[in-house]
Amino acid sequence: MYKYTKKINLKTGTAWRFCPPQDAIDADVVRNQTFRDGRAARYEIPRLVEKVEAFRRGDIIAGDIGPGSTIIQVYKYYTTTTHFKQLAPNSQTTYDSTMDAVFNTRIGSKRLGQVKIKNLTSANCSVAYEQWCEDVSVSKGNQCARILSLILNFCVSIDIIMYNPMSKVRKRKHETRDTTWTQSQVEKFLDVAFTKFEWRNLGLIALMCYEWAQRPTDIRLLKWSSINFDERKVKIKQTKRGATVELPISDEILAMLTQQKEDWDFQEYVVPHQRPSDGAYRPLNINQVSLIANEIKEAGALPSELLIGDLRKSAINEMIDAEVDHLAIMSVTGHQNIASLNPYQKHTYAAAKSALERRNK
């Protein structure tokens, strides 16, 4: 008889009940299982017993991971945890894409993803960090370091490793992107975008991002079910924080959306793209947005550094400059606290002049 296993007689025949120690169950290493097929029992139970023994030796700490697990294995296990599943879908996608870059970073003769977690050193992390910064950008390097550090802290929390080696790596400081659009640049971009049918959907995305101060991702994913034409308002559930905002639709956008609905209401997305591979209608992806935007900027002789994502920031800055109440701005942007608007605050001559004139009244 196998270890941790009982042979039981059922009405339907003989079965084998695998009953591992409770501590191995609590650590999600194994679970109670019943095998009614003798061949399956002979194959599976020895493997389960070995997992329990590995857990007892300390080779496995939780689930299928332990000090001897690779960084890829650890991350795959982390994605099954409640903490990861509670992240917004957009954040989960960011974690996946960032960790994919981490896995493929070469450290000597190995890729970082294949390094065992117990063998990862601060020196390894420092080499990887410098590669991320040099090959892409300091911002990308800091993002990779931040998410890898989170995974390593998770390993510390379940006693797989004693300390986080990434915490000893000295990070570079990167300048926050502060590029914004002027109103004339927005108008020029839209004028050009609406001259061609193949550019029209991106023009509409840009207009709604700017008019409603929303992120391109949320506008790309916008569905007709979110728009109430009778009440002239749109409801947007933001992917980054999960906040829901309700916003009015201006006459200009209402007219464009009405025309858009006449052209595209046979499918669910407001600004769709027809996928060439199968003809399915899907949202424009980030790369498509970037490519089309570059074509429009080139045709309109606009600065190449302007990004569609900067339109939200431009709109928020305009509301702040217009001295709109911060709580009202938050109702538009979906920010959860006033401090979140601090990065948009700029020390400008116009603001200083206004403040001094008010004081002297």
Spell out the domain ranges in the chain: 5-57, 71-168, 183-356
pLDDT band at residue 359 using 50, 70 and 90 as cut-offs? low
Matching CATH topology for 71-168 and 183-356?
no
Per DSSP, the three-state class of 143 is helix
Looking at per-residue pLDDT, the higher value among 331 and 64 belongs to 331
* Pick among 1.10.599.10, 3.40.50.11890, 1.10.1200.10, 1.10.150.130: CATH of 71-168: 1.10.150.130
Per-residue pLDDT of 173-190, as tens digits, reads 877 777 899 999 999 999
CATH class for the domain made up of 183-356: mainly alpha
Provide the whole-model pTM: 0.60
CB–CB of 50/39 below 8 Å? Answer: no
Question: What stretches of the chain adopt beta strand conformation (E)?
Answer: 5-10, 13-18, 33-35, 106-107, 110-111, 227-228, 233-237, 244-248, 272-274, 281-283
List, for residues 224-233, the tens digit of each pLDDT value: 999 999 999 9
Q: What is the pLDDT of residue 348?
A: 64
